[in-house]
Amino acid sequence: MLCYDGKLSFFCFIVAAVIAILPEVLLRLELNVLQVAVRAVFLGYVFGIGIIIFLIAPSSWQMFGVYITILATFHYTEFLSIAWINPSTLSIDSFILNHSIAYGVAACSSWIEFVVERQYFPVMKESSFISYFGLILCICGEILRKLAMFTAKHNFNHIVQSEKMDDHELITYGIYGFCRHPSYVGWFYWSLGTQLILQNPVCFLAYTMASWKFFHDRILIEEITLLNFFGQDYVEYQKKVSTGLPFISGYKLNL
């Protein structure tokens, strides 16, 4: 059995060898593999930092820790879900970290509002019924979205498809029997929940309007495509099941 000094020397030897070899290993990896690793490490780090903030930070910062943990979980599980259900479409974009400029601006705006309001009204940012309701909304939205993805399986794609694949099916069972766009419904309420967690009144209103507009337009485009793909079958499906989002009826053919 190695003594303490022996174990220490062995540990240091292995760490030094790994540090020496690692740069060369990374250079030999495919760029895509490295990019996946970097994003996964980043999201895992953010997830951990969020938990630490919640556990040890002042009370006015704790819900920000919950928020960044929820954010990291959402983006990582998007990639992981696609890797599971539809690996042929998997890419760096599956993390949806670079979803759009508007998405980045919205996120940054929520951070700025939180910091500014905490500076002047710290009590406003302490955990409350509102922030925990937002957490529940995020969890429910996340579950709904992932349930939709795993129900649709290979039919799910982050990008609206313009061409029908041979194995593309119209999914009307499971969660799709309750609403036509459960993944959008989940994401919509998840986004609102993040602002309730932060107790950001301004961004909550802005997120509500921006998210509604985004999904309204997205659903119109997607349903035109689905009508082209599935014709009368999709028309009948529209008659039976709503979109699931408030005041969004989708694209209807005038027959």
Q: What is the CATH number of the domain that holds 78?
A: 1.20.120.1630
pLDDT band at 55 (very low <50, low <70, confident <90, very high): very high
Dihedral in degrees, nearest 10, Cα atoms 190, 196, 198, 204: 90
Q: What is the pTM of this model?
A: 0.88
Domain span holding position 180: 30-240
Stretch 43-56: mean pLDDT, rounded?
95
Tell me, yes or no, whether 86 lies in a domain. Answer: yes
Tell me, yes or no, whether 133 lies in a domain. Answer: yes
Tell me, yes or no, whether 247 lies in a domain. Answer: no
CB atoms within 10 A of CB 71: 20
Burial (CB count within 10 angstroms: exposed 0-12, middle 13-18, buried 19+), residue 90: middle
The number of folded domains in the chain is: 1
The distance of Cα 185 from the centroid of its chain, to the nearest Å, equals 13
Separation between Cα atoms, residue 98 and residue 96, nearest integer Å: 5
Q: Is the pLDDT of residue 20 over 70?
A: yes
Specify the residue for token string 């909550």: 204
- For residue 224, the model assigns a pLDDT of 95
Tell me, yes or no, whether 255 lies in a domain. Answer: no
DSSP state of 178: T
Tokens describing residue 169? 């099916």
Stretch 148-171: mean pLDDT, rounded?
91
DSSP state of 252: -
Tell me, yes or no, whether 128 lies in a domain. Answer: yes
Q: Is the pLDDT of residue 173 over 90?
A: yes
Separation between Cα atoms, residue 53 and residue 71, nearest integer Å: 14
Give the residue among 117, 99, 101, 104 at the shortest CA–CA distance from 202: 117
Tell me, yes or no, whether 210 lies in a domain. Answer: yes
Tell me, yes or no, whether 178 lies in a domain. Answer: yes
- For residue 27, the model assigns a pLDDT of 64
- Given a contact cutoff of 8 angstroms between Cβ atoms, the answer to whether 222 and 163 are in contact is no
- Given a contact cutoff of 8 angstroms between Cβ atoms, the answer to whether 50 and 31 are in contact is no
Tell me, yes or no, whether 199 lies in a domain. Answer: yes
